[in-house]
A and B are shown apart, each in its own frame.
Chain A
Amino acid sequence: MNAKKILAKGYLWLLLAILYTPILIIAIFSFTETKVLGNWTGFSLKLYTNLFDGGMSNSLMSAIQNTIIIALVASSIATVLGSVAAIGIYNLKARQRQAVNFLNNIPLINPDIITGISLFLLFVALGISQGYTTVILAHVTFCTPYVVLSVMPRLTGMNPNIYEAALDLGATPFQALRKVIIPEIKPGIISGFILSFTLSIDDFAVSLFTKGNIGLETLSTYIYSDARKGGLTPELRPLSTIIFVTVLVLLIIINRRQTKSRDKLA
């Protein structure tokens, strides 16, 4: 019995070790100045200070900036569009709701490359020159379904009588919405926003196809073209490390929030 437990635990730890070794290597070598990985040239924080001083290639800095701006704008739009849509879909008749949910699922199933190519063709067909706007539109396209999906369970889990009660007590529909429905679905809206934000930051393929050729780069497309040239910018190592730690912290926060709200429901 015990041997089995050791075996099971051992398997998990082995798998984790394999999953995290590459990330650990990057993190360790972010503290040394070497250009080539595996060649330790002494402890140094230079890569980190480079990252924040702007003492490195300007193009990486602007790529980071673009990524954050695009993610903020796209996830804000997606959150508003998706939350409003969720309230609308929730109030649709069953058949219409099914149809809209089906449409909503398409971007979730489509691999990035298909989403990217199809939007690329749309912009080509409409003669829209590609750049910031098209990338943001594309990101809104694949983020909004996730907002709808994270708001919807809050709506279905809501007691509909509370809304009716508010109306009976003399609230206008708008007041009832603001005072009853929105507070109730707020956790879903926030989760949807965070989810959209991380999805947008992570995206590579969709950005690649919709960024056009005006020289706009996001972090992912920057890494891609950098890697294709052969020499990876060493500053990507501290950057990756920071991203990894940030994701870890964000995920723990979201996880805490969800367990808390689940406890509240129970």
Chain B
Amino acid sequence: MNKFIKFISRRSSWSIPYVIFLLLFVVLPLILIGVYAFMDYGGNFTVANFVKFIEQPEAIKTFVYSVAIAIITTFLCILLGYPAAYILSNREFNRSKTMVLLFILPMWVNILIRTLATVSLFDITGIPLGEGALLFGLTYDFLPFMIYPIYNTMMKIDKNLIEAAQDLGANQMRVFLKVILPLSMPGVVSGIMMVFLPTISTFAISELLTMNDIRLFGSIIQENIMLSDTMNYGAALSLIMLLIIGITSFFSGDDEGEVSHGGII
């Protein structure tokens, strides 16, 4: 009993419940995706689920299309978001924290509600829903997730570096290209993670924005996994997506936690 009390009062052991929780609800479920992917309906080992994916041109086409949509969305978000983050972080142009707050506020509003809001915009202006609406809607939904991490890293750039560059004779263009741009890259990488990963796995947003006309990879996964006889095929598709996520986060290094630390401003 005494030993037990001693164990409890050692504060490092306080992490144990959470570690067990993580193993049970994070690690084990991820392993299960792999297990189910290599299983047939009866529970025997098989690679048939992956063969089915490769043999179905429809599935591959959707997959490639989804990746393309995700890449374009991410690119549009960088294109629109980077200048915005630059202006927001530059004291010469903006000193207002409220302005920053206005840009990140949409991050905290239910994404389905925001998607429906864009749908209503298209309804009112009479622009038909479709691929254009999908790209606009996705960019609209995820733009704050690009601006925020870039803004954050730009705010952390040591102002002395910029002044030093100016003192050494660099003009504004050169200061931007040689100091600000390279130092803001970690923010761009975080932004890509926060935009690309959710976009590639989206399903509801695309269904709402195109009236179920364009179906992305996420929709196919969702449909298959919910039915017990196609569940294993769904798991195989999830594993393929998990692979892409793994590759993306591998290339982005290990500073992706950085973004989430601050949470808000």
Contacts and interface: CB of A to CB of B under 8 A. Distances in A.
B128 interface: no
Interface stretch (B47-55, B85-93, B160-168, B176-184): B85-93
A109 interface: yes
B201 A111 contact: yes
Number of contact residues on B: which range applies?
Answer: 35 or more
B121 A144 contact: no
Contacts of B231: 121, 124
Contact of B105 (A104, A224, A232, A247): A247
A149 B261 contact: yes
B15 to A, nearest CB: 3
Main secondary structure of the interface of A (DSSP, over half): helix
Main secondary structure of the interface of B (DSSP, over half): helix
B233 interface: no
B245 A110 contact: yes
Number of contact residues on A: which range applies?
Answer: 35 or more
A20 B117 CA distance: 9
A201 B218 contact: no
A148 B22 CA distance: 12
Contacts of B28: 122
A113 B201 contact: yes
Given A9-B93, A92-B12, A247-B105, A118 B29 contact: yes
B201 A11 contact: no
A62 interface: no
Contact of A22 (B29, B30, B102, B118): B118
A22 B18 contact: no
Interface string A80-92: 0110110111111
6 contacts: A81-B21, A88-B18, A93-B12, A144-B21, A198-B108, A208-B222
